[in-house]
Amino acid sequence: MPDCLQPGRVGEPPVFVPAPAVLPSIGDAEKRGNGRFSRKLKDGGFVVSIEALPPRGTDDRVIRRKMDFIAGLAACGLVDAVDFTDGSQGIPHIPPGDFIHLVRAHLGWSATTGDAMELIPHFTSRDLNVMGIQGRLVGYHANRIHNVLFVTGDPPKISPTCPRSTAVFDLDSVAMIRLAHSCLNAGVDFGGVPLGRHADPRTHFTIGSGVELEAHDLPRELERLQQKIDSGVDYIMTQPAFRPEPLAALEKFRDRTACVIGVMVLTSLAHAQRVAQVPGVVVPDALLQRFAALPQLADQTRLGRELAAAQIRGLVREGWAGVYLMATAAGSGTVEVLRAGLQK
C-alpha cells in the first residue's frame, strides 16, 4: 500500500502513514512510454541530458536564442533530454514547466507529434507548500511533463540583488520522491484519496534526483541517496565530477539505480576558478594549472571542450548510465563536445 501524508501541524515534519492501495505504482513498462530518455534508461542504453537555464527576463531575443539552442540539440540526434533548472542560484527565472510550454510551441511539438527529446523540469520544494507541490505535479502530468528531477534547490538568500524571499521547504527531495512514487504513480493524492473515479488514475512519472559526490558530509549524502533509492527514484544525476575519485562512492549503488554523471564544459581559467567556489564541486589544482598555462582564451576554451569530451568517452567506456552535460549559458560548443565524446 502507498505511504501518504498524515495531516499535521504547520511547520512540523511530514508523517507518512499507509493508505489503502487502489492500484500498484506504475513500473518500467509505463515509464518507457514517457519518451526517448526514459526508454533508453529502462533499456540500459547510454542516456544524454543537457542542462538548460530558463530565461530570467522578457527579452524575446534571449528567449528565442535559448529555444533555437534546444532545437539544435534535437536536430543533432545525440540528445535524449533537456533538463531545466528551477530558480538556480536563488534567482527567479521563468519556471521550467512554463518554459517547456514555450519550447514545445516554438518547435511544433504536440501530443500528436510527440517530443523529439524529453523535457525534464527540476523541481524544488523551496517555493511551494505541500498543497502546491501536489497541484503542480498533477498539472505537469496533464500537460505531458512526465519526467521530473526532484532536488532540494538553492535557497533564495543566495542572490544578493533579489528582494528577501521566504523559503518553504515543507518537504525535502526524499519525501517528494516517495510521494510521487507511492502516491501519485499509484493513483492517489498525498492524503491517499484516489485521483479520479476512472479505471486508472495513476500518473506515469519517471522520477529523478541529484547527488553531490563532493559533499562536505559525504556519509550523510550517501545515506540520503539510499533513501531516495528506497523511495522509488529511477535515476540520479550528479554534480560535475572533474576527477574520477568521487565516482568510487557510487559503485555500490550502480546496480540499484541508474547513475547519470555530471560533466561541465569549462570555457576559461576564470570560469574554472568560479566553479571551484561552488559548494559541492571540486576543481583540482592540476586542472586549474592546465588552464593557467594557456594565455590565449581560445586555447582555454578548446581545452575545456577537449576535457569534457574525454570525460564522456570515459563514462561510456566504464559503463555508466549516461551523462548530464552542463554547458555554457549560450550553449556554444555543446554539440561538438557530444560528437567528440560519443564517437565510436
pLDDT for position 170 = 87
CATH number at residue 244: 3.20.20.220
Residue 43 inside a domain? The answer is yes
Q: Which residues contact 291 (CB under 8 A, 6 or more apart)?
A: 266, 268, 269, 272, 300, 303, 304
Instruction: Specify the higher pLDDT residue, 335 or 161.
Output: 335
pLDDT tens for each residue of 238-292: 999 898 888 999 999 999 999 999 999 999 999 999 999 888 889 999 999 999 9
Give how many domains the chain has, as a whole number.
1
- Whether pLDDT at 9 is above 60: no
Rounded to an integer, what distance in angstroms lies between the CA atom of residue 90 and that of residue 258? 28
- Whether pLDDT at 11 is above 60: no
- Whether pLDDT at 313 is above 80: yes
pLDDT bucket at 226, cuts 50 / 70 / 90: very high
Rounded to an integer, what distance in angstroms lies between the CA atom of residue 263 and that of residue 280? 14
pLDDT tens for each residue of 114-149: 999 999 999 998 889 999 999 999 999 999 999 999
Domain containing 143 equals 3-9+19-268+299-342
pLDDT for position 13 = 66
For residue 80, give the nearest of 42, 29, 108 by alpha carbon.
42
Residue 275 inside a domain? The answer is no
**Which residue do the cell numbers 505511504 mark?**
3
Q: Pull the grid cell for residue 62.
A: 534571449
Residue 195 inside a domain? The answer is yes
Q: What are the start-end ranges of the H helices in the chain? A: 28-32, 36-42, 60-76, 96-107, 130-142, 173-182, 218-231, 269-275, 285-292, 297-317, 334-342
Q: What angle do CA 265, 268, 269 make, to 5 degrees?
A: 120
pLDDT tens for each residue of 148-188: 999 987 777 666 677 777 888 889 999 999 999 999 999 99
Rounded to an integer, what distance in angstroms lies between the CA atom of residue 139 and that of residue 129? 15
- Whether pLDDT at 1 is above 80: no
Residue 294 inside a domain? The answer is no
